[in-house]
């Protein structure tokens, strides 16, 4: 029941906030939300404490039949891929709630949506049924759209609508692939097993894998499906940006590893060289585009596009070390990008601008932001993957692993670290 | 500068001894570097601390003890470093390298000191008007124009690529996404004109769409 509590606590918290009688003050709502998320964090730590790191495979499995007619089971489980992401979700959602200030418009809805997103993301990471995963994957769509469109910047309607359309398309492609998998195999068993794909020809696997790659590629995001991210980040408030970059993008990479590589290993091996090239292009594109930005938030958003390309690069190699690097990259990028967005938010709040052409001298110890500047140096060095910082090992593992017998990953793995240095040097 | 009995003598001596075996050319470069370092250090000392006082240096009292204490402490540590290293990890004796090597290290340092003492401190020479000499001085003063070359080549290339990527992202990628949106809006506006208000028309449209969808799916399935 521990895994179910990770879903129940935030969902019940959502109901509590929405059904709270009277007109509670924003501060009271905020504190209640923080308390609920603190409980969720404690539960996540309890899952960590009960997790046996020496045992591979799923642990703490919970399986209940829900709608057997359509193959939907309530099936939860945690393993080494999902546990770190659950912890990151718990931590960053709590951080988002803590840093939320001055919500005078519909605070009840704001904090309720925050809790709903947290629960949905937990559900997506823990689901062991394809339809259940998709249910939670789509559940976070509307809350995030609301968070951007109601509490965002001046151009929030455009950014929120673009996010909604892109992500809805992503969900449609993933659902279509899952349904097609069931249709082609003649089974309505949506449990997470690669056995299903073995009944398909390699051509069929490639078609379904391509649909999943595009679907998850929108979410990750990968070039050229990334266009929604910079606008969404620029228009979203700081707490929502922290959530978007730190947690929600990991849904895409999680899906990539769990469903694309996990369900279609044969087709994945066929596409691996092209995926590595795609990853390298995405990394370079994101990094170069970041250099040309004047808006700090937009720059961090494009750098996130580059960093997420690393995960695809590691997944394309599909060796034990590279997959470890991919997992580590997801966790470290989640924490580092959250830090960077937080710091950019502080600069914006204090100065009123995020324009790099205008901002100067903030490291001044008397009239500037020396602490924020110092933390920015820490964040940027970590983002650049300098040795001894959290992102250095995963970027090394993603870039320098023995590649499968194909020359393409050899070409792509050396470009990526150079682009990361270029991006971080522009700070 | 590799002068006895300071700590640099031993490490320079060992380094020079190893370089002589592997690469004599580098040993010469090493000694030349030591000499130039000595010249520069002495020249700077002479310029800053010796000679007649200048308007900026006429009234410069000594620093307070709070500032002096760490500097003096560090100076004492530097002087005592060989003795300290002797206790931690005994440094090799003066016989660890040949007398010739020791003489070369000390000699290059002393020659550098001598040259530094004898160099004229002519302010007009430090920034010559002779074009040939000025070019050489500027080349050395501005680090062989490495920052300027770096800015003109690598930085310009990366900045150009970044601007091109940004243009592509805004014009092509974003343009495509916005274009699809505008096309959808325009199509919806056009379809609005075709609203008949009759239920049969809507039902027919839905049935045709469903037939087309399932036919396509079946065709794809057969193809796979």
A369 three-class SS: coil
Beta bridge partners of A73: A65
| Residue A366 DSSP code | T
Name the least confident of B58-72, B123-137, B179-193: B123-137
Mutate to test the interface with B, among A167, A172, A289, A425 (most CBs of B within 10 A): A289
Q: How far is B126 from chain A (nearest CA, A)?
A: 34
Kindly report the number of other CB atoms within 10 A of residue A153's CB atom. 13
Q: What number is the average pLDDT over the span B160-176?
A: 93
Q: Is A186 on the interface with B (CB under 8 A)?
A: no
Per CB-CB distance under 8 Å, the chain A contacts of B224 are: 184, 200-201, 203-204, 207
Rounded to 5 degrees, what angle do the CA atoms A224, A145, A335 make?
Answer: 70
Q: How confident is the model at residue A255 (pLDDT cuts 50, 70, 90)?
A: very high
DSSP, collapsed to helix, strand or coil, labels residue A127 as: strand
Task: Inform me whether the pLDDT recorded for A398 exceeds 70.
Answer: no
Q: Which 8-state DSSP code applies to residue B145?
A: G
Q: Which of B7, B217, B195 is nearest to B91 (CA)?
A: B7
- Spell out a b/e string for A402-424, using b for 16 or more CB atoms within 10 Å of the CB, else e: ebbeeebbeebbebbbebbebbb
Please return the burial class of B186, using the count of CB atoms within 10 Å of its CB with bins 0-12, 13-18 and 19+. Answer: exposed
Residue A403 has pLDDT above 50, yes or no: no
Residues A349, A353, A357, A360, CA torsion sign: negative
Greatest extent of chain B over all pairs of C-alpha atoms, in Å: 111
Positive or negative, the CA dihedral A344, A349, A355, A360 is negative
Do the Cβ atoms of B224 and A184 come within 8 Å?
yes
With a cut of 50, say whether residue A132 has pLDDT above it. Answer: yes
Q: Which residue has the tokens 């380094």?
A: B15
**Of residues A350, A338, A349, the one with CA closest to residue A375:** A338
Over residues A190-198, mean pLDDT: 67
Q: How many CB pairs under 8 A join A and B?
A: 43
Chain A residue numbers touching B161 (CB-CB < 8 A)? 288
CA distances from A134 to A85, A124, A127, A176, A187 (A): 17, 7, 9, 11, 18
Count of beta carbons in the 10 Å neighbourhood of residue B87: 7
Burial class (CB within 10 angstroms; exposed 0-12, middle 13-18, buried 19+) of A81: middle
The complex scores an ipTM of 0.79
What the block records as the tokens of B184 is: 């959808």
Selecting from A162, A224, A291 the residue whose C-beta is nearest the C-beta of B162 gives: A291
Lowest mean pLDDT among A114-123, A380-389, A395-404, B192-201: A395-404
- Average confidence (pLDDT) over A374-387: 85
Which among A200, A227, A291 is the nearest to B173, CB-wise? A227
Q: How confident is the model at residue B222 (pLDDT cuts 50, 70, 90)?
A: confident
Sign of CA dihedral B20, B24, B26, B31: positive
Say what the pTM is: 0.78
Give the alpha-carbon dihedral of B217, B218, B220, B222, to 10 degrees.
160
Yes or no, beta carbons of B221 and A292 under 8 Å apart: no
Q: Give CA–CA dist A415/A295, Å, rounded.
A: 25
Q: What is the pLDDT of residue A242?
A: 94
Nearest chain B residue to A176, by CA: B217
What letter does residue B95 receive in the DSSP assignment? G
| Adjacent-strand bridge partners of A355 | A295
What length is written for chain A? 427
Q: φ and ψ at B198, to 5 degrees?
A: -100, 135
pLDDT digits (tens, 9 = 90+) for B19-70: 888 888 888 998 899 899 999 899 888 888 887 777 877 777 788 888 889 8
Cβ(A6)–Cβ(A76) below 8 Å: no
* Residue A362, min C-alpha distance to chain B (Å): 24
Nearest partner of A219 among A210, A229, A209, judged by Cα: A229
| Helix (H/G/I), strand (E/B), else coil: A77 | strand
Q: How far is B181 from chain A (nearest CA, A)?
A: 9
A285 min Cα distance to partner chain B (Å): 7
Query: What values do phi and psi take at A128, rounded to 5?
Result: -115, 15
Across the interface, of B158, B173, B224, the residue whose CB is closest to A203 is B224
DSSP state of A57: S
| Furthest CA-CA distance within chain A | 70
More confident residue, A400 or B210: B210
Confidence at B92, pLDDT banded by 50, 70, 90: low
Burial of B102 (0-12, 13-18, 19+ CB in 10 A): buried
Segment holding A59, helix H or strand E: strand A59-67
pLDDT digits (tens, 9 = 90+) for A272-316: 999 999 999 999 999 999 999 999 999 999 999 999 999 999 999
Inspect the interface and report whether the beta carbons of B177 and A203 lie closer than 8 Å.
no
Share of chain A above pLDDT 70, in %: 88
A188: pLDDT strictly greater than 80: no
């Amino acid at each position: 029941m521990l895994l179910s509590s990770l879903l129940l606590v935030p969902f019940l918290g959502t109901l509590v906030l929405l059904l709270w009688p009277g007109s509670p003050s924003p501060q009271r709502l905020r504190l209640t939300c923080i308390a609920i998320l603190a409980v969720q964090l404690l539960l996540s730590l309890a899952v960590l404490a009960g997790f046996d790191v020496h045992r591979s495979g799923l642990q703490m499995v919970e399986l209940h039949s829900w709608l057997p007619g359509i193959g939907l089971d309530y099936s939860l489980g945690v393993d080494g891929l999902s546990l770190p992401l659950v912890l990151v979700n718990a931590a960053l959602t709590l951080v988002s709630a803590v840093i939320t200030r001055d919500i005078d418009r519909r605070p009840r809805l704001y904090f309720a949506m925050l809790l709903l997103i947290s629960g949905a993301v937990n559900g997506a990471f823990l689901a062991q049924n394809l339809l259940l995963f998709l249910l939670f994957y789509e559940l976070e769509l509307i809350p995030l759209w609301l968070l951007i469109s109601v509490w965002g910047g001046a151009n929030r309607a455009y950014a929120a609508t673009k996010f909604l359309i892109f992500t809805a398309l992503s969900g449609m492609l993933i659902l279509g692939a899952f349904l097609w998998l069931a249709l082609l195999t003649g089974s309505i068993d949506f449990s997470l097993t690669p056995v299903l794909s073995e009944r398909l020809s390699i051509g069929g696997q490639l078609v379904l894998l391509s649909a999943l790659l595009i679907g998850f590629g929108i979410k990750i995001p990968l070039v050229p499906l990334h266009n929604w991210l910079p606008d969404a980040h620029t228009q979203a408030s700081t707490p929502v940006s922290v959530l978007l970059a730190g947690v929600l993008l990991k849904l895409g990479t999680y899906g990539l590893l769990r469903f694309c590589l996990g369900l279609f290993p044969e087709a994945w091996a066929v596409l691996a060289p092209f995926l590595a090239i795609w990853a390298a292009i995405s990394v370079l594109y994101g990094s170069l585009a970041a250099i040309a930005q004047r808006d700090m938030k937009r720059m961090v958003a494009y750098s996130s596009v580059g960093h997420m390309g690393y995960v695809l690069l590691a997944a394309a190699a599909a060796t034990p070390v590279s997959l470890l690097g991919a997992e580590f990259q997801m966790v470290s990028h989640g924490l580092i990008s959250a830090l960077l967005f937080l710091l950019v938010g502080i600069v914006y709040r204090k100065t009123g601008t995020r324009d790099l052409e205008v901002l100067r001298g903030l490291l001044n110890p008397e009239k500037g932001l020396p602490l924020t500047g110092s933390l920015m140096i820490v964040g940027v060095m970590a983002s650049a993957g300098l040795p001894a910082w959290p992102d250095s090992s995963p970027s090394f593992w993603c870039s320098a692993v023995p590649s499968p017998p194909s020359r393409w990953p050899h070409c792509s793995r050396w470009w990526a670290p150079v682009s990361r240095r270029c991006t971080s040097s522009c700070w | 500068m590799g002068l006895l009995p300071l700590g640099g003598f031993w490490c320079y001596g060992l380094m020079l001894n190893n370089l002589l075996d592997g690469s004599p050319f580098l040993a010469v470069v090493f000694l030349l570097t030591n000499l130039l370092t000595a010249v520069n250090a002495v020249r700077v000392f002479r310029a800053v601390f010796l000679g007649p006082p200048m308007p900026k240096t006429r009234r410069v009292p000594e620093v307070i003890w709070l500032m002096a204490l760490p500097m003096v402490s560090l100076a004492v540590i530097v002087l005592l470093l060989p003795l300290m290293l002797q206790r931690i990890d005994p440094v090799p004796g003066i016989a660890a390298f040949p007398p010739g090597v020791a003489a070369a290290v000390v000699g290059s340092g002393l020659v550098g000191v001598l040259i530094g003492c004898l160099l004229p401190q002519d302010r007009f020479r430090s920034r010559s008007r002779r074009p040939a000499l000025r070019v050489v001085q500027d080349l050395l003063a501005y680090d062989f124009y490495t920052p300027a070359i770096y800015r003109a080549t690598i930085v310009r290339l990366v900045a150009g690529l970044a601007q091109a990527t940004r243009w592509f992202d805004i014009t092509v990628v974003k343009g495509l996404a916005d274009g699809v949106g505008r096309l959808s809006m325009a199509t919806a506006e056009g379809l609005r004109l075709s609203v008949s208000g009759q239920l049969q028309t809507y039902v027919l449209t839905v049935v045709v769409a469903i037939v087309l969808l399932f036919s396509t799916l079946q065709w794809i399935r057969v193809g796979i």
